[in-house]
Amino acid sequence: MNAGQVWGEPSAHWSTNRTLGAVGIAVALAAAGAAVIYAANTGGAAAGPGFGPPGGPPGAGPGFGGPGGPGSRDADLPTALHGQFVVSDGKGTFTTQLTQTGTVTDISDTSITARSEDGFTQTYVINTETRQSRDGVRTGQTATIRAVTQNGSNTATAISAQR
């Protein structure tokens, strides 16, 4: 405020350079904010692996369309050897979900057993709702298994052969 200026009286207009500088700063801040929102919504490296939206099952991983396909937040999951997490349906119900990538050591019409690189071994129930790769999975092949824990057993929801 100038010495002769009265409080509340408009000040002199900004110069073109000052206006351009302010606009440049605003654009940079907006771009940084958009980058943070993008990383949070896509499971970027800083956000860690994403497991899908609340209440939704994790994606089926490679070999299945829709959630879990290329470009989704589940695209990070194939690098995970195995894990367990709890997902809310948003209505007060929670589901324990599992993921494992490993070598299939045994497979039948009703179960599959896989062993991850770190030695973790798990058997999963296969039922009529289990989605599988078109070509199926064989013993000795590497596969990614998605499952849910129901009534004390781990039921595979999706089995995908790795290429």
Which residue type, as a one-letter code, is found at position 24?
G
Rounded Cα distance, 73 and 56, in Å: 12
What are the mean pLDDT values of the chain's consecutive 10-residue runs (163 residues total)? 66 74 77 70 42 40 41 54 88 89 94 95 93 87 91 90 80
Q: What is the pLDDT of residue 35?
A: 73
List the chain domain ranges: 15-48, 73-161
What is the secondary structure of 3-15 as a DSSP string?
TTPPTTS--PPPP
Residue corresponding to tokens 């499971």: 43
Q: What is the pLDDT of residue 17?
A: 78
pTM of the model: 0.53
Q: What is the pLDDT of residue 150?
A: 81
Q: What CATH number belongs to 73-161?
A: 2.40.50.320
Q: What is the pLDDT of residue 122?
A: 95
Bin 12: left if φ > 0, else alpha if -120 < ψ < 50, else beta: beta
